[in-house]
Amino acid sequence: MASEHGQSTYYVPEQSKYPFFASIGIALMLVGVATWLNDLHANRPGSPAILIGGFLVVALVLFNWFGTAIRENNQGMNSPQLKRSYRIGMQWFIFSEVMFFATFFGGLFYVRQLVGPWLSGEGVGHFTNTLLWNGFQFSWPMMETPQQAVGGVANQLIANNGVFAGPEKNMSWPGVANAAHWLPLWNTILLVTSSVTCEFAHHALKADKRGMFKFMLGVTLVLGFTFVYLQGVEYHEAYTEMGLTLKSGIYGTTFFMLTGFHGFHVCLGAFILLVMFLRALKGHFNKDDHFGFEGASWYWHFVDVVWLFLVAVVYVF
């Protein structure tokens, strides 16, 4: 759409109720997860019904909302300026995700470089160690909690609400000799390979090779969902064979916090790519207009880069 001066004008969509209903769904999800966790904490028979209801509302709204945007684009209603706004919006969304993970990486850094050494008596923590955690020596991965170091809950000067025992084994790099049995290595290979195949799919689409585009996108999906499966296997092994749980002190909580949130993002990215694959089967996208897939590929590459940082700071160093 162009103005009388030949400049592209901004396409203003009609008023929509989707943002309102999306807000209701998100509010239900927040209330649902809060009430469910409170019930579990109070040993009451909680129910995730409100959380599930909110999730279904959000899913229905997004399905219809994105469907409307796709139909408008296929009808030629989207101006170049609107398409640029989509790209900028996706870039800001990924930036917000970078800040999200930076918070958790920062928390891990704070624990490993400051709090842990302080609790063991280094620097300003000498008095705290002598008074509260006498005998605790910090190392990472932390296999013994300060509570264990002082002889259990009964010997603590400051009470807490739980018993925390370090894991029997950790998930750290086992050395070259045992690398073939280390699941994070295989997950790294899978995710890095999936990022490569996703890029191949993008190049195939830009070259108008739709058969190769769909094939490479399908391979990317298989690799991504295999990653999710192997992470589930890793979690099962951690809980049942290593004693590494959410109650394993700060090592357990940071491990599951970082890998768990990343796993959620992998699931989200794989689902987005699955939607792109189904759209490709319906004949959507062409070599000049395919931002839906391009934005999904950006997100997938972002997930891959985060995993490389995560492997380095959580598993290796």
Residues 108-125: tens digit of each pLDDT: 999 999 999 998 888 877
pLDDT confidence tier of residue 3, bands split at 50, 70 and 90: very low
Alpha carbon distance 281, 285 (integer Å):
10
pLDDT confidence tier of residue 2, bands split at 50, 70 and 90: very low
Q: Is 289 helix (H, G, I), strand (E, B) or coil?
A: strand
More confident residue, 124 or 151: 151
CA distances from 1 to 82, 87, 197, 285, 290 (A): 11, 19, 36, 21, 19
Q: Given a cut of 50, is residue 194 above it in pLDDT?
A: yes
State the pLDDT at residue 82.
Answer: 81
State the pLDDT at residue 13.
Answer: 64
More confident residue, 223 or 66: 223
Q: What is the DSSP letter of 7?
A: P
Q: Given a cut of 90, is residue 154 above it in pLDDT?
A: no
Q: CA quadruple 182, 185, 190, 191: dihedral positive or negative? A: positive
The answer to whether 38 touches 48, Cβ cutoff 8 Å, is: no
Across 63-72, 141-150, 298-307, the highest mean pLDDT is recorded for 298-307
pLDDT confidence tier of residue 10, bands split at 50, 70 and 90: low
Supply angle C-alpha 29, 34, 37, rounded to 5. 120
Mean pLDDT of the chain: 89
- 77: amino acid identity, one letter: M
Average pLDDT of the residues in 164-187: 90
State the pLDDT at residue 157.
Answer: 76
- DSSP bridge partners of 289: 286
Average pLDDT of the residues in 136-152: 88
Alpha carbon distance 111, 108 (integer Å):
5
Name the token pair of 287. Answer: 């070599």
- 141: amino acid identity, one letter: P
In this predicted model, what pLDDT tens digit does every residue of 204-242 receive, in sequence order? 999 999 999 999 999 999 999 999 999 999 999 999 999
Task: Give pTM, 2 decimals.
Answer: 0.86
In the block, residue with structure tokens 């990317």: 220
Range with lowest mean pLDDT among 66-75, 84-93, 112-121, 158-167: 158-167
Under CATH, to which class is 1-78 assigned? mainly alpha
The answer to whether 50 touches 35, Cβ cutoff 8 Å, is: yes
State the pLDDT at residue 210.
Answer: 93
State the pLDDT at residue 7.
Answer: 53
Identify the CA nearest to 83 among candidates 94, 92, 93, 73.
73
Q: Given a cut of 70, is residue 170 above it in pLDDT?
A: yes
In this predicted model, what pLDDT tens digit does every residue of 248-297 receive, in sequence order? 889 999 999 999 999 999 999 999 999 999 999 998 998 888 899 999 99
The answer to whether 70 touches 284, Cβ cutoff 8 Å, is: yes
Supply angle C-alpha 141, 145, 149, rounded to 5. 125
Q: What is the DSSP letter of 154?
A: G
The answer to whether 244 touches 170, Cβ cutoff 8 Å, is: yes
Q: What residue segments make up the domains of the chain, in order of their start?
A: 1-78
State the pLDDT at residue 75.
Answer: 84
More confident residue, 150 or 312: 312
Number of H helices and number of E strands within the chain? 10, 0
